Structure 1
């Protein structure tokens, strides 16, 4: 007969005078966090005690109740009540609502305290928003709501701003489909249809940062030279009903496309059409994106294929084009200047030869079935297809027959005592003479016959014996490798090349050393198109083309044959992918980097920067409105101009609105070599008097030079008319004005 379910009995509640309750040493909360005791006291004074204290009777030595009670759960509420008593706003004998746990309860006091703090869930920001809306509808203002909940009026206004967000997007956020920062970004526009269109465009994208969402929502028009317009084509945009605004009196590079939403939709449709054309190639997945971030293939293995050979017609055409190109070069090689038509023909021939030589890659059909493709377009609006990326979860699972070990050489875990049935890779199984299914239990093979049944067949060695024997071999290898630096370097290169180029789905190696390519979680829009990014990619592509990837034995031989300089260059290239000089947000609760760890990271980065003589100016960075100036306060814009061009120039900008100030500052700072402090070398001293440090404000001079330059603005600096129209014509008057 089934046993009847036992009814749950709750602890009784009662009012206990305040002077008869004390804080228990069993209360697990020791560290203050969240709302302060003072704020909680004010809240209790305003609305009363919403949650009872959890108390237990205090017993004397004989085990009898003393009439006093201790509080294992509710310590902060007790401290807030104590503050009200101290302030004489609450009587010492005031009755306090309490839940009274029996003194003989099997539940420990620490257990109650821990459960109360861990089982509660913070209010979701969307619920907070809805609550604030309800309070406002009942007549409370922003200031009153903020005061009631001890938040700033800005927080209240930010939450209430969510009313501008489409209900469909609020539901996406409620289901954890986007972050709060992303949701807040949609509030810059009240057009719900446009909001949903932007979310559809970015939700599957690699780049859906809040600033991208804001930029897309606030765009009212784009130039006809914008890469999206070039990719789609202005004619197609107009055919779909798009409007182009053209200036009949000035060159406007083809005009401005007014319907940005339509343009984005046409971009998505064209990318989908291009992706559909690739379906027949047999890829497992195809990812389309209007804007791939730098390092989009992070964590994936790149397939290595063979270039498709030219067919006879292509080879003949290639030979003819090359012959004509060389003939023209020989004919005009001594000329000081090429005729326009000859120059155009040479360019045309070079492009045609380059197109023929850019052969499509041929991949293994079995690899294609588990790999994917990225479809996008570059900054010139040209379609770009990146083929052959294998995600970690799509890698073929390697099976072992005897020891059921993983690719890293560690025994498979988490199997318990269950029997696991694994299918052999057919090719490998046939090669080993093994056909069928291998059954394992707890990582061990289950044999059809008992182990001690000696039928004369040659069986695998016991796992324990294999481990002991290979331990001897590992130690011997350590000793031998320790006195063979050339072999050690080759082994390190083999492992690092495998990690960097992901040449194999297996991550196993006999060397426990690795380099992990660091993904840049925060990226400026211009990062992937920067000169530095192109240099890294070009170097990576060159090494990738030169190395026999995919075959560890051939790779070992190749690495051993490289000269010392090439080996060191390859080592440097592989190690460079592990560089992480990101200044990340410190997490005080253990997840992520600590404050001391961040300090150590940045100091190490400074050491490396000094060793390689890093110069961010030479690396191609310069301040623009997009990457710096429009994202800092006006005072920092003026500080930058002041450091680079002098006080006089800065004063000419201080009356401008921020957007206009950022644009003018970008023009003035161009070519100046000025850098924000975070990009300057820590080991180089800041400028002093006439001294200036290359790459850290190369145009910064002394105060007299700045003033002299300020007096010659109209002639030397080519400032726009609206900046110099009100300047006195007499230099003496200008100095007096300053």
Structure 2
């Protein structure tokens, strides 16, 4: 006869007065983990019950008799929490405690029960917690109540609630361990489920799925709150105008992205207009306002020299008092490494007040104001930059010649411009951002757009100027070479790269941010340093130059000569009908290469690196792949060849970082090699030996677009 399996008998459950319980030394938990016992006590008090009974065993005396006491080997933290409530007199000593009583004759050790209770417990998946918080809020609990119930902060609750709002498709992926928690957190920056799923599909099979990359893809059509335009108008003004902001609850800085770029630009232009109107009341002839003024915008303009406003006796006394207070506070806390907050704040206030005294308004001649203008722009911190007192050549006072009209002899009268602002209203121009250029998605490598080549060579020209200015011997040789070509008839001066006049070449086409490049910053700092030393009176300039000592004359010579460098590629008339011919551009770039080799110009060292804005987003997919193949290798190119244009450009930027790769217009041409600009002979034939980026091609969409841009510029004129 088959044996019958013995039925299990579970240990009985009963209520035991708390004062009959003692903590067992068999409890295996020794290290504190999870929420504290104090928090557990508060949770028990809030609920008014134990969610899980204690596991207890009868305490027997030496003869094995029941003593009426029970030890707790499993549930020690719950026991300690109850003890805290008893000590606080919030729970009676004899309060019944639900317990599961083990048979003292069992062969299962107390340590076995304690270990099993802790190791066989399955932890809650984080997603279950997120969804539970979400359900609790839907059923009426506030975020504050949830935070208080689970002993956390409101910010943590909001973060977990935000995680529960991610696309259900992605939550299922996370539940199956298909993505990390950090990746899921990144998806919360954009609430659009369709966009979240689209981004996931684009990266799910990629080896690169970093959270920063996910955030970038989800915010690529937005403007970060750190952008100077956003700082200029302020997030409050943007949101008050109806603008939406994406926020990252998981960033310590609470980063945000402004979604409505059109609204942002409109608000910026409106604020610039208001500020321009205020400044126009001072009587200026014109005001040119833009988010970012082009590099060299003041070239060819005369700068007014004003006088600093004198301080009144009261202002002098106030300045002296502030200086004394600053010195007293500094001496008082000289030995203190960390200043008290209020003291540090007061020192900052004093510094700001003293700086205001030093940066007093400059007073200009009213007649000069009436013919001069003001440039308005925005700096990196979103502050308005006001540059007053620039006179355009056409606004200079005219010389009225009396007598027989010859240019020699006779009295000269200077035309007067009425400075009364009521007579003339300032002409205010509000600049706009350059339009985006449509990209050609064909599979062949077309020539680079001429506008892009001009922008790239503008940056190369700046870098070459900076290098030449730091190499007086080469600068001297370059100018001497030009002088010889001018003086001796056997030579011909034809479209030189070294324009020793010195004619400062401006950059009509340039990418945004050119003025922030290392070369531009270095030139600007050096120029200001020399300008600060020079006399205001032109009559004293000669004697000042003579007084320069050591190598200072050579250094100043190199600085001035560098402004004559013109290494720009320009669109030329192949038939010689324009101001610059194809042959002239060829000769200019060839000479520029010679200068670049002489000063050892390296555009990588000069700070140029390929980005979406300055190159990769401006060329076709085949050119992006070609760049990655040359800079990072064939394997890297294969990794991105399946991506869409925008994604490919961003990945290429990352892959090419620190590789030193340069596009053809920025590379050094070896001596004797054909210049990239020699795209055609003057007869109009195509030189097949030239690089493809400048080879002309009929019907090319990108060149056609450049032609349209030029036509638009002519129409604007």
TM-score by length of 1: 0.45
If the length of structure 2 is used for normalisation, what is the TM-score? 0.46
